[in-house]
Structure 1
Amino acid sequence: MLLRNCWYVAAWSSEVRHDAPFARTIANVPLVMWRSGTELAVLEDRCCHRGMPLSSGTIEHEHVRCIYHGLRFDATGRCIEIPGQARIPPSAKVRTFPAVERHKWIWVWLGEPSAADESTIPDTHWVDDPAWSCKPDGYLHYDVNYLLIADNLLDFSHLPFVHPDTVGGSRDYASHSPTVERRPDGVRITRWTPQTSAPGFVQRVRPYPGLVDRWNIYDFSAPGILRMDSGMCESGSGGHQGERIGATQFRSCQALTPETECSTHYFFAQPHNLGAEPEVTEAIHAGMVDAFLEDHAVITEQARMLERNPAMRMVPLGVDAALLHFRQVIDEKLRQESAHA
């Protein structure tokens, strides 16, 4: 089962246009999106006449036209034209979904529309804050359940092993246990690693000749949203005490959106404070893509093995506290939705 009563990241703003429909499936629900004037149209991607995907059609005068029999729908899902038929039945309409565009992401609510509270959308303002720089288009597709990716993001002890040359740094990173704070919608994880090597993706844009003190402090909330304050400074320069002057800082924003029970959309951006030079931002983004492709390979291989042996019992370790709590949060939310179905 997948959650319905939550805000999912459906697309980057740049993906949804005025001149063509855009298709994406979220939690088994096929969606079609386009821009209708100043409105953002998000409909079920299924014509009410014969079930043809509306995303296979065209945008005409800010409306979507079905490619099969030519029915035209407006942004509210109402059919406004049936070729060859003057009367339009009241039932000729397509389901719509609440949608909000905020900080380069398009958020969609799949559940009961009256419960869609925009104030609960997580803050990711760093993505388009002029004080920070990033490339707002990070995306990977996974053919695995989104919770396996969440497991990966909730336990950074894998960094020096999976990512030795990208985001990992030295192996001593894994020896420092994080603080895990349980929250109603997820967890907050705080990890400090003093006197360690700067990771490769940082060294390529801002070389550190000596050791650094490094931090990763992040919230991971349902359905799968990560917002992280991370960075490093010269070892002993006061980072742990909150002294950030001259430090390299990031505000990573990542979102896991299940496509189906067996596939996932992964959105990411890495806002940084190293200036607005395009080549720096491009290098940082490329470093993150390299790291996330390393995760992709490992998680995909893991998923294929679990498919071969679904009854495998995983041995829990101390580093699993955060991911176990997050799964409990998801299970509880699913129980609540089932109880009110």
Structure 2
Amino acid sequence: MFVRNCWYVAGWSHEVADGLFSRTILGEAICLYRDSQGAIVALADRCAHRGAPLSKGRKEGDALRCMYHGVKFDKDGACVDVPGQDKCPPNLCVSSFPVIERDNWIWIWMGDKEKADPARIPDAWSLGRPDWVYRPGYYHYDAPHMLICDNLLDFSHIGYVHPTTLGGTENISAGRPKVSRGDDLVRVERWLVNDVPAPFHNRIARFSGLVDRWHFYDFHVPGVLIMHSGVQATGTGAPEGRIQDALEFRSCQAVTPETESTSHYFYAVPRNFALDDASITEKIFEDIVTAFEEDRVMIEAQARNLPSSGWSTAPIQADTALSHFRWLMRKRLDLEGRPDTAHTATLSRMHDPAGRPGQPVGR
């Protein structure tokens, strides 16, 4: 089962243009399209008549007609026309889902509509600002959503999985980040001081000596990372809060379950320097794609290697952030009254290294 009462990223704005777009989310096929005013509509991608995909249908104004037998539904999922009969049966309807387009991401709420509060959408502001530029990315994963979240919550892997891209040193695994937990997020603050720049950094701005690197991020339920990261020459005051002549990034990444065993991964790494230099945009994107492919290969291999039952991990100190997050996810499942079954089985394989869920912290 999945946590349903939260906002998931359903896609990038550019993915839903003038036509019909289908994507499976939490095991349910969803048809996304734009109404006559350009607003996003989300309906179950299954005609209530015979189960044909509505994404193979036709837009008619704000409505959608199934092109198997011609049944037509409005944007709320109600049937408004059945060819050959005067009345529409009241049970001939399809599910609709709250959906909001914000900062170039399309957010969907798969749970109780009455609880769909837009204020609970994580603030991915850098995706919608002209003074932060990026190229958007997407990966499909043959791995459960939680394994990808684990990877994003523990950057100690960077020196080992990404030696020629985001790493450059294994020293990052030796430092202990500051980890705290809020109601719906885990906050991580990690410094790497007086060390080498990542190969990724040197490909876009050559550093002559050692640097200070930082990763500060909030990881929101159900799997959304909003991060401020950067690199600056050592001795110029970054750890004391004096950010100057730095390379700064505001990364946004979101993991959305497709099924119990597959996932969608949306990502971007906006920057606020060299805004008009398209070559830097491409260099950053190419390096990020290389690094995230390294992650994907490892995580998919891990997913294939994990037995379905009878085995659990042996946690270490580096697992603190992901253990906090799994605790939050279990809590949300409990609140929704959902059992710990196939999708959530991975939650029970990891526990807090100290044997406790940790202390909550306000935002």
TM-score tier (shorter): over 0.9
Name the CA distance, whole Å, in 1 between partners of 2:201 and 2:74: 48
Per the alignment, in what secondary structure is the counterpart of residue 260 of structure 1?
Answer: coil
Hey, what does 2:262 align to over in structure 1? 263
Shift of residue 339 of structure 1? 7.1
Structure 2: 5+ residue runs without aligned partners?
A: 340-363
Name the CA distance, whole Å, in 1 between partners of 2:40 and 2:219: 27
Name the CA distance, whole Å, in 1 between partners of 2:210 and 2:278: 27
Name the CA distance, whole Å, in 1 between partners of 2:338 and 2:66: 37
* Conserved? CA contact 2:36–2:61, under 8 Å: no
Name the CA distance, whole Å, in 1 between partners of 2:93 and 2:312: 47
The residue identity in structure 1 corresponding to 2:41 is A
Greater shift in the superposed pair: 3-12 or 200-209? 200-209
Residue pairs, 1:191-230, within 5 angstroms: 191-230=190-229
Shift of residue 54 of structure 1? 0.7
Normalised TM-score (structure 2) = 0.90
* Conserved? CA contact 2:169–2:196, under 8 Å: yes
* Conserved? CA contact 1:274–1:280, under 8 Å: no
Name the CA distance, whole Å, in 1 between partners of 2:189 and 2:255: 20
Shift of residue 62 of structure 1? 3.9
Q: Once the two structures are superposed, what CA deviation does each residue of 1:74-112 show, in whole Å capped at 9, x if it has no partner?
A: 212122222222322233221111000000000000111
Hey, what does 2:355 align to over in structure 1? none
Aligned residues: 337
Hey, what does 1:290 align to over in structure 2? 290
Per the alignment, in what secondary structure is the counterpart of residue 208 of structure 1?
Answer: coil
Shift of residue 311 of structure 1? 2.1
The alignment status of 1:253 with 2:243, answered yes or no, reads: no
The alignment status of 1:190 with 2:189, answered yes or no, reads: yes
Q: Once the two structures are superposed, what CA deviation does each residue of 1:158-181 show, in whole Å capped at 9, x if it has no partner?
A: 001000011112111211111111
Per the alignment, in what secondary structure is the counterpart of residue 270 of structure 2?
Answer: coil
Per the alignment, in what secondary structure is the counterpart of residue 153 of structure 1?
Answer: helix
The residue identity in structure 2 corresponding to 1:89 is P
* Conserved? CA contact 1:173–1:196, under 8 Å: no
The alignment status of 1:317 with 2:316, answered yes or no, reads: yes
Q: Which runs of at least 4 in structure 1 moved beyond 3 Å after TM superposition?
A: none
Hey, what does 1:55 align to over in structure 2? 55
The residue identity in structure 2 corresponding to 1:296 is R
Hey, what does 1:67 align to over in structure 2? 67
Per the alignment, in what secondary structure is the counterpart of residue 97 of structure 2?
Answer: coil
Per the alignment, in what secondary structure is the counterpart of residue 191 of structure 1?
Answer: strand
Hey, what does 1:144 align to over in structure 2? 143
* Conserved? CA contact 1:21–1:64, under 8 Å: no
The residue identity in structure 1 corresponding to 2:318 is V
The residue identity in structure 1 corresponding to 2:64 is V
Hey, what does 1:105 align to over in structure 2? 105
Structure 1: 5+ residue runs without aligned partners?
A: none
The residue identity in structure 1 corresponding to 2:120 is T
Name the CA distance, whole Å, in 2 between partners of 1:128 and 1:202: 24
Shift of residue 29 of structure 1? 1.8
